[in-house]
Amino acid sequence: MTAATVIIGALVLFSIGGLVGATWTTQVLGGVSRRHAAERRSLNHGWRALENARRARGDSVHCARCHQRLAESSWMFVSQPEDDDGT
């Protein structure tokens, strides 16, 4: 065997190992990702319902994290973004 054959064989084995490892990782973490997506959809639905109830009462709606007033068009947008100091 020549050195080139050994190097090509090693690269092929390394590539196959990477593909198999990526496939296994995707399968293992796929359930976790689907669960997180379902939890996020549930939380988003709950926040929308809460925002709609507050707006129906005539209350102003504020971001739970930064306490700034939310935009009228969507519960996901803050009316005036806060200054980002990088923290």
CA distances from 38 to 14, 29, 57 (A): 35, 14, 29
The closest alpha carbon to 47, from 14, 76, 67, belongs to: 76
Tell me, yes or no, if the pTM score tops 0.75.
no
37: amino acid identity, one letter: A
What are the tens digits of pLDDT across the range 20-47? 999 998 888 888 888 899 999 999 898 8
DSSP annotation of 75 reads T
Above pLDDT 70, what percent of the chain?
Answer: 71
pLDDT value, residue 79: 47
> What are the structure tokens assigned to 51, written together?
């925002």
